[in-house]
């Protein structure tokens, strides 16, 4: 699993994930995501276009990020997840706080821009 920081400024953090967010993938990005990205306390946009799989460990990590950001009043949105990943987010209820957006314009709107 690859995590790339696309943009980080005073307004938001925009990252892109690529690969499988499975048991191994979750371990690979967990420290950076929780230790560097979420600790910025900025609205978070996660581009999931290139994520091919999401298991329950990865789902738990996304939820943990959103829950932590929420404490600081920041929202989180995932951009363009593939249909089965969207189904997992919605079926689990995690989409209540990790909103799903099909395109950048809608994603930025979710975050308040």
Partner 1 sequence: MDKTFSLTIRNHFDELSRLTPRVDEFLEKSDVSSRAVFTINFVLEELLTNIIKYGYDDKKEHMIGVRLDMTAEGVLVTLTDDGHAFNPLDQAPPDFSQPIYERKRGGLGIFLLKDMVDHLEYNRRDNLNVIEVRIAEKSG
Distances (CA, A) of 27 to 34, 36, 57, 65: 11, 15, 9, 14
The reply to whether 60 sits near partner 1 by the rule CB under 8 A is yes
Quick one: which segment of 10-18, 34-42, 82-90, 104-112 binds partner 1 (CB under 8 A)? 82-90
The reply to whether 94 sits near partner 1 by the rule CB under 8 A is yes
Applying CB under 8 A, among 1, 48, 51, 59 the residue interacting with partner 1 is 59
Q: State which residue, 41 or 70, has the beta carbon closest to partner 1.
A: 70
Residues 6 or more apart whose CB falls under 8 angstroms from that of 39 comprise: none
């Amino acid at each position: 699993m690859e995590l790339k920081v696309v943009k980080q400024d005073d307004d938001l953090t925009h990252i892109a994930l690529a690969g499988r967010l499975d048991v191994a993938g979750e371990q690979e990005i967990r420290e950076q995501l929780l230790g560097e990205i979420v600790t910025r306390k900025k609205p978070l946009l996660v581009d999931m276009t290139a994520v091919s799989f999401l298991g329950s460990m990865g789902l738990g990590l996304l939820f943990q990020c959103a829950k932590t950001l929420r404490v600081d009043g920041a929202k989180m949105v995932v951009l363009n997840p593939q249909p089965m990943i969207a189904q997992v987010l919605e079926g689990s209820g995690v989409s209540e706080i990790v909103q799903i957006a099909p395109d950048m314009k809608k994603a930025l709107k979710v975050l308040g821009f």
